[in-house]
Amino acid sequence: MADQSLRGFLEMVERDFPEELVRIKEPVERTDITPTVFEFERAGRSPVIVFERVEGFEHSVVTNIAGNRKLLAVCLGVEPGELPAAYKDRCQNYFPVEIAESAPWREVVIEGDDVDLNKLPIPFHFPIDAAPYITAGQIVARDPETGVDTTGFHRLMLAGKNRLGVSLHSRRRMYHFHQKAEARGEPLQAAVSIGVHPVHYMGSMAYHYPPGVRKYEIIGALFGEPYRVAKCGTDGLEVPEGAEIVLEGEILNDVHEPEGPFGEFTGYASYRSTQNVFVVKRVYMRKDAIFHSVASGMSADHILISCVSREAEILNTLRRNLPNVISVHVPSNTAGALLAIVQMKKTAEGQPQQAIMAALGTEFYCKCVVVVDEDVDIFNLSDVAWAVITRTRAEKDINFIHGAMGAILDPISDPEDHTLTKIGIDATKPAGRDFAERLEISEEQRERVRGILESAGVQL
């Protein structure tokens, strides 16, 4: 069986892709962790980063485990270009969980007055943040009516020894679970897992699935085998066997406290919050627990997996009626879900408009869809911009959809109802007539030039 733990992933990367793992042995402050990720991104790199010494804390910190498309593809055993299709196909083959009798995170148990979250190396991500934030905390809770659980990321602000401010995504299941519990006059029993495998991260970001399906079953589908979980004390909730740290507690009912601001995926500070409160009653952890953090803001670590899941969902929708759609890309460096690029082999006019409408109908976060021909590299925004500026006829090929539902965190959406105007751009060549021929350099010629440069001692 596969090693489904964060540690198993780190061992694989260090063994097979040592250039993609950086260990920093020098002492750092917790304010240094997320900025380090962005410095690597500015240099065109996205390695997994382990901080072995964080000033004032015992635990090491790992970040950026999900910022590298190549490593995510390796986790599914495919090439990077095949990642959305593999994600789409596997997410539909659910596996029931396997319940483990014990788990490494039970080695240390802290409860009652001894709980002190200040001892965890929770990073300060941006100066605008109201407090240190747990960003890699996977909250699990059950629907009070059906008993079906879900798991996902919700930002957790350090608010006291045993208290975390939490903003529940108001259009996702956890928010509705809490509303149901609150209607009964009860808190929502919950647990937070910190330190999970990237495949768990990927499965937790699946958005479209039947209400009776558990996220753990989708995660198992991505692993290709049952996901191993273990029960914790809070209401018998199940959490990943391979987790590093588990926080047990409850999300209070009828209690709201200030939470935020926080540096969100849009690249802006977010002051929006459901202002919920998570009270931690018990902490479990491995003796040498690694604290996992997701770099916040517009980092690939924060956005890339949601991009892949949205690529998969849009691709799934488009191919039902447009089999000539080749691929979909949702770039992380344009705030993730807000832009989708569709590559197709157009066989008739009107197909790009069909693709635009279907894509916007599939993913409400998306507010701009660009459709390009098969000769355009959708992973190269310069190539996409070239296609837009040389193949788009503004009077015919740009479409506006007014009053559409947008993302609540999108700073341009209406502050009252969160609607906005969405745009579809047909950047494909006009059909039915000759069009300007694109200049190309053959791969043979490129290889010849590379050989010349290598002989001359020139490094590209």
Look at the chain and count its residues: 460
Q: What one-character-per-residue DSSP string does 80-144 give?
A: GGGHHHHHHHHTTS----EE-S--GGGSEEEEGGG--GGGS-----STT-SS-EE-SEEEEEE-T
Distances (CA, A) of 363 to 28, 405, 412: 39, 10, 17
Query: Which residues of the chain carry a pLDDT beneath 50?
Result: none
**Token pair of 166, please?**
């939490």
What's the pLDDT tens digit per position in 144-196?
999 999 999 999 999 999 999 999 986 678 999 999 999 999 999 999 999 99
**Side-chain half-sphere CA neighbours of 354 within 13 A:** 16
In this prediction, residue 172 carries a pLDDT of 78
The domain made up of 322-426 has a fold known as UbiD C-terminal domain-like (3.40.1670)
Domain range 6-300, CATH class = mainly beta
Predicted local confidence at residue 283, as pLDDT:
97
Q: Write down the domain spans for the chain.
A: 6-300, 322-426
Confidence (pLDDT) at 209: 81
DSSP letter string, 22-36: EEE-S-B-TTSHHHH
Between the CA of residue 85 and those of 28, 73, 74, 78, 91, what are the distances in Å? 39, 11, 14, 10, 10
Intrachain domains 6-300 and 322-426 with the same fold: no
Closest CA to 131 of 154, 155, 112: 155
Give me the amino acid identity at 349: E
Is-contact 265 335, C-beta < 8 A?
yes
Q: What is the pLDDT of residue 418?
A: 87
Q: Which of 137, 128, 156, 141 is nearest to 273 (CA)?
A: 156
pLDDT of residue 311: 93
* Cα–Cα dist 359/312, whole Å: 11
> What pLDDT shows up at residue 408?
84
Q: Are 33 and 293 in contact (CB under 8 A)?
A: yes
pLDDT, position 207 = 78
Supply the pLDDT for residue 1. 74
Three-state DSSP at 245 gives: strand
